[in-house]
Amino acid sequence: MQMAAQTHTDVGGILRPQGHLDVATALAPYEAALGERAAAHLLRRAGFGGTPDDVRRFAAMTAREAVAQLMKFPSAQSIAPPQALADFEQGSYTGKARGREGRRTVVAMQEWWLDRMLSGPAPLQEKMTLYFHGHFTSRATPRFAWITYNQNALFRRYALGNLRELTREVSKDPAMLLYLNGAQNVAAHPNENYARELMELFTLGVDAYGERDVRESARAWTGWQVNRRAGTSAFDASLHDDGQKTFLGRTGNFTGDDIVNLIFEQPQCARFFAASLLNWFVYNDPEPELVERVAAQLRAHDFELSPVVATILRSNVFYSERAYRALVKSPVEFVIGTYKTLGLSSVDAGALPALVQMGQHLFYPPSVAGWPGGQNWITSGTMIARQNFLTQLLGSQTLENSSWLRGLPLSASAAANDVAQRILQGDAAPATLAQLNGYLAGAGTAALAALSTENYDQRIRGAANLAMASPAYQLN
């Protein structure tokens, strides 16, 4: 496995790709102080980025100290839902009015969640909520908006909890029961939709089960019903198939809970989640040996996420050059990261439509497989959407609330370096730095006057736009 030796580091605290790192030490703790480059890397991956002050604060910490700070979560039960949700449920809407008001309520929930990602006390909690939203996929139910909110709250409650227990809970969750026809799955007419996706997309992957396993799992899950008005689910024994079932080589009078237990006994289940977590936090297509190491951690901790995620975020491989800026920012990461980088404390009205244009409509993933992610985020159309978002935000009154624009030097070259450091942590390519410098110096034309006190605000905003449009800024 081609990785960096820990003894070769740059000033930013990122391990350089010199020599080989033994697989046995890939998950060993990275011990050095982070520095700004590694701190910004951690804040992007374990959250949605950081303000310049956040980056400086975490730069002085070790990985262990920084991760411990990020893993301090408020109780999920202490988090109040958006007021719009309570107002909607207390209203007497019927027919088309209920659908219309429900859609408005979902928009309010989207804005509420984006604000939590941006300024909430636990960015890692929200990052894991987003991870599960794309993993255990379902779509919004606007007419019964509490169902959508409750699933979001379920993911937040299990953000670093037990994967087996979360899988058991999400299988019975009203949002999932409605989305994958679980509420229509009864003994007389078994519905196989959820049984199939539970294995293929959620826990095992393709080629890890057979068609008989799908049929028998569907029988085991029969009987769950949803009360849409109450936003609850309940088991109706009269609709359940209580006969003998053979699933993954085992035979018994299985229920859905038994199915989850049997799935998590399969070695492939730990490998499946290990690969998923590495793709989310570290880099795409992780080496099989690294996947096996993380899978072993999951089994050793009985699928408790907290110690496993802590190990990943503190590890040598996480801070290696192989991992650094190796993932394409999702639209949510791009938008919220931009607000954070600019020191803004709340999202504005342009965020949601921008996300839709970039291809990530929260609560409305495109399919049961969620968002494909990776390079799929970058197309000619979505890059135009990203640029339009930057142009709108950096030209808006919203930025008047940011202290970020103040205090940069009036020297074009010094200001260019400062902008590149604050936005890209020194990762600006020579061409990007030259572009910034030329822009702030006036680019040799009268139409573009050099940076001065008269045009300071306009020119710094323009330079920030150039830096955020650069290739490096599209990467996490």
Report the alpha-carbon angle 244-236-255, nearest 5: 30
| DSSP-based three-state secondary structure for 233 | strand
Is-contact 303 162, C-beta < 8 A? Answer: yes
Neighbouring-strand partners of residue 189: 186
State how far the Cα of 342 lies from the Cα of 193, in Å rounded to an integer: 44
Mean pLDDT of 64-91: 94
Measure Cα distances from 163 to 202, 269, 400 in Å.
11, 10, 43
Mean pLDDT of 72-95: 91
pTM of the model: 0.94
State how far the Cα of 275 lies from the Cα of 265, in Å rounded to an integer: 17
Q: What would the pLDDT profile of 358-417 be if each residue is shown by its tens digit?
A: 999 999 999 999 999 999 999 999 999 999 999 999 998 888 877 777 778 889 999 999
Is-contact 33 59, C-beta < 8 A? Answer: yes
Is the confidence at residue 9, as pLDDT, over 70? no
Number of residues that this document lists for the chain = 476
| DSSP-based three-state secondary structure for 73 | coil
Among 6-20, 136-150, 193-207, 272-286, the minimum mean pLDDT is found in: 6-20
Q: What would the pLDDT profile of 280-324 be if each residue is shown by its tens digit?
A: 999 999 999 999 999 999 999 999 999 999 999 999 999 999 999
Is-contact 215 190, C-beta < 8 A? Answer: yes
